[in-house]
Structures are given as C-alpha cells and as structure tokens.
Amino acid sequence: MAANGLPTLGRVKLCDLLPTEGLPSDSYKLAVSTLSQSLAQYSAAIIQFPSADAALLRSGLDSARLYFHQRDSYPSTNDSREWCKTSGYYSDPHSWQESYEYRPGLTFTEAAAASMEFPPSGLPDIFGLLGKASRLVLDAIGFYLNLRSSPFTEILDNVPLRSNEVSSSVLSVCCYARPSFHHHHNLAEDEQLLLYSDHDHQLDKSLISFVKSDKAGLHVRDMHGQWILVDVDLGPQEAVVYPGLALYQATAGYVSPAVYRTDFNSMQGSIEGRFSLAFKLMPKSMTNLSCSEMRAAGHGVDAQFLIPVSVDDFMQRPHSNDELFNRQTLQSFTVPQSQDGSMKQMKKRKKSDSRLKPLPPSKRLRLEAQRVLKERVQEIADKKGIKLRFCNPKDCESNHNTMNSPCAHIKMEIGWPQGVPFVHPHDLPNKAKIGFLETYEPGWSETHYMELSLSEAAQGNQHVT
C-alpha cells in the first residue's frame, strides 16, 4: 500500500464485510479499512460479489438491453415526482437518459400488463442482492466511525417490508444515449453539447448507491478535484459503490458525498447506448436525519448538523452542487497510515483535531443537556415572539449567578425558572442533567446506559478526592 493511501480505487470482497459475533476478524478490519480509505480518497470503491451473483448481474443488464430495445414509445408512464413514489418508466430527453424504476410495494405490474409492456426481468432478486450489500457497506462505515452496531436501522426500511409498506429504496434500470431515443426527440446541436459540459455534475440523495454498467463512463471527483473513471475494467461480479448526501447529513459531514458525471463522448456512434443497474439505499419517509449516533460516539458535530432534519424536507430541498465542489471544505475520513490493515483511531481533517478526540463522559453529558436546553429555550421564545441572542459560554460561566449576566434579561423576559441554567447547563450536576434530558427526550437514559455508568463513576471519584 502506498504511504499516502491507496494507489487506485479500493476493491473489497463483499463476503469480507459480513460481521460476526465477538472480536472483528483481521479480514473484516482490512476490508473496512480499504473501503474507508477508498471512499476518503476517491469517493467510491469497488465491491466484489460472490461469483455466483455475477450471472444475476449480467442477466439484469441483458434484460435492460432487451427492454429498452423493444420500446417504441417514449413518454413517461408515471408522472409521480414524489421522491418515495417513483415507479415505472421515465425519460429525460435533455440528458439522453431513460430509466425503469422498481420500488417494492408499488403496484406497477397491472399497468404494464394493460399496455402489453413487461418490465425488465429479475428485478426483485437484484434489488435484494444490492440492498443487502448496501446495508453491509453502511454498517462497515459505522464500524470505522466507531458507532454502535447497525446505527442507521431506525431510518431504514423494514426487512422484509411489512404489509402495505412501500420501499424507500429504489432500483433503477437505466439506458443512456440510445441513438433511437435521440432521433425520436430531434435534439438540437446545442442541446447535445450540454451533455459534454464540465458543469453537468450530479449527487445522489441516498445513503449508499451501487452502480453496475455494461460500459465504462462513470466519473467521480476525488479528494484532489480530479475526475476518476471508476467503472473501467470491472469484472462481471464487481460493482461501484459510493456515498450520497443523506449519509453526509447523518454523519455530520464526516462522509463526503460522491460528485459524479456520466461521459457520453465514448458512446458516440454506439448502436446500443450504455445500460446500467443503479440501486439507491434511501432513508425512509417520516423519519429524521440526526447526528445523535455521531455525538454518542464522541465525534465533534458542527452547528449546521445539530438540528435533526426531516427526511421528506431533505429530499425536496435543493442542494447546490457548487457548494461541494471545493473538496477542501468537505469533511471526510482521514486515511490511516497502515501496512497490515489494522484499524487506527480515526482523526478528523480539521483546523483543530483536538476537539474531535473522544470527549469525557461528563463533557458529553453536558453537551447533550446543552443541546436540549437550547432547543427548549428557542421553543419558548418562538411562542412568545422573542428574538434570542445566545450568550458566549465563557462569558456566561464567569458570572452566571449574578444579576448582570449576559443572558439574565432574557431569562427574566421569558420567565425562565430561577436557578435553572439557561442555554448552557453551568451548575447542573450530572443527575440533574440526566433528569432534564429524560423529561424532554424519554428513553434517553436507556440509549446512553454506558455513558451514564461512566459519568456516575467519574462523579464518585471526584467526591472521594
């Protein structure tokens, strides 16, 4: 391995990402390390499926080729634009792209039968294969970040889906630059040129995305801003995996989303176009993307990630690609310098690494209480129409018991109880903080049992001394 990281895109066997009871095996640690380094450097990695799955992936691409070749009508058969309800055939003439979206739980077979149109074959099996692989990759990233096991389970679909549930994740069978599609829509020359623009960048709003193509053409921007062709020379059992914006949000920016584009220049003159299978592991609707798991693991979380974001709002909110092009401003994994694949303590590439060291239990408890107190204060102020200006913690700590403290007038104005800290829980003992958290976030104590035990032990030691 190169001294400064991976020399090329990392390749990881899916079987090596299968977790087992007890201590992690050397093969698991090496696979997780390689995956994480590749995501940090190239925003993508290559996953090697068992050889038995190669036939399924190949048949999926063959079925896609047959499906689009037999289509002679191009209008979309489904006009739904709700992110979690897309299903069926879609077309986008301006990007030369057609797709058939398979989403378990939505009835599409009846409409297809009525129009004598049959979907590509093998979609349920391919959906299951890539869905399971996406969850293994997601858990591996959680392991690398030192999160608890299966940290994102609460925002993922049930496995299997329950009655009347619709999958949030989706499998797209895609066709790019099909010549007959171009001729049907009579695209102008200037419209064609847009396809080759350097500004045609994309990001997925997924947690994890898998792509398997029959031709190379997927470029991903690496940590240095260079475009890397990531799907060249792929074996029949290999697919590209990369993180999306939802994972970026859920990990407080520690995992950078992949910025990618599709190169159509290499497909000029092709009689078929380019076919691919794209699976997106999505957070389920009616949940929130929060960074509570990151805070619980002791990672520093910037203010922009502190407030949980509704998944529905996140999916409908526009995200500017330009904000992510300067990769120096993005947070990502720090590549461990390891020759034997052993896991190293992950450090954050920030101006100050010290604030990202695991916090003492009492400090983490204080930050949690501070977060809840601040949200509660803001809620009361909003109801009373009061515009708050939160004070500086250091200034407030130095004179929080005096009448002229920076936030004393606000506490008086909103009727904050005497003796209860305002935004910063300065004088609350740990047990009082726990009581406050349990009041406003029932079940907090159970989810932070280990931290509470350590806190009580630390308090006991302080009283002894």
CATH of the domain spanning 9-69+85-180+198-324:
2.60.120.330
Question: What 3-state class would DSSP assign to 258?
Answer: coil
124 pLDDT band, cuts 50/70/90, is very high
What confidence tens digit (pLDDT) does each residue in 257-302 have? 999 998 866 555 555 789 999 999 999 998 999 999 999 999 999 8
Give percent of the chain with pLDDT exceeding 90: 46
- Res 317: pLDDT: 84
Residue 438 has pLDDT above 70, yes or no: no
Contact predicate 279/210, CB 8 Å: yes
DSSP letters for 309-365: EEHHHHHHS---THHHH-GGGS--PPPP--SS---------SS-SGGGSPPPHHHHH
- Res 318: pLDDT: 79
Residue 90 has pLDDT above 70, yes or no: yes
209 burial (CB, 10 Å; 0-12 / 13-18 / 19+) is buried
β-strand 274-281 against 208-213: which pairing, if any? Answer: antiparallel
Residue 326 has pLDDT above 60, yes or no: no
Q: Output the six-digit token pair for 36.
A: 């994480």
Q: Output the six-digit token pair for 52.
A: 């038995």
What confidence tens digit (pLDDT) does each residue in 220-264 have? 999 999 999 999 989 999 999 999 999 999 999 999 999 999 886
Rounded-to-integer distance, Cα 226 and Cα 93, Å: 28
Give percent of the chain with pLDDT exceeding 70: 57
Rounded-to-integer distance, Cα 275 and Cα 212, Å: 9
Which of 84 and 147 is assigned the larger pLDDT?
A: 147
DSSP letters for 36-84: HHHHHHHS-EEEE--HHHHHHHHHHHHHHHHHHHT----S-S-----TT
5 pLDDT band, cuts 50/70/90, is confident
- Res 451: pLDDT: 46
What confidence tens digit (pLDDT) does each residue in 45-76 have? 999 999 999 999 999 999 999 999 887 656 65
Which of 91 and 345 is assigned the larger pLDDT?
A: 91
The domain segmentation of the chain, as residue ranges, is: 9-69+85-180+198-324, 359-455
Rounded-to-integer distance, Cα 320 and Cα 185, Å: 29
Contact predicate 299/246, CB 8 Å: no
Which of 157-166, 268-277, 393-402 has maximum average pLDDT?
Answer: 157-166
Rounded-to-integer distance, Cα 361 and Cα 455, Å: 5
Instruction: List Cβ neighbours of 199 (8 Å cut-off, separation of 6 or more).
Output: none
Rounded-to-integer distance, Cα 24 and Cα 33, Å: 12
Tokens 């690398």 identify what position? Answer: 144
DSSP letters for 114-160: HTT--PPTTHHHHHHHHHHHHHHHHHHHHHHTTPPSSTTGGGS--SS
Rounded-to-integer distance, Cα 1 and Cα 128, Å: 33
| H helices present in 195-285, as ranges | 245-250
Tokens 């790019």 identify what position? Answer: 176
CA dist 242 → 103, 230, 279 (Å): 20, 10, 11
- Res 177: pLDDT: 74
- 92-101, 138-147, 331-340, 421-430: range with lowest mean pLDDT: 331-340
Q: Quick check: pTM over 0.85?
A: no
Question: What 3-state class would DSSP assign to 175?
Answer: strand
List residues bridging with 236 in a β-sheet: none
CA dist 420 → 291, 383, 415 (Å): 26, 20, 11
Residue 133 has pLDDT above 80, yes or no: yes
Q: What one-letter code names the amino acid at 57? A: L
Which of 438 and 355 is assigned the larger pLDDT?
A: 438
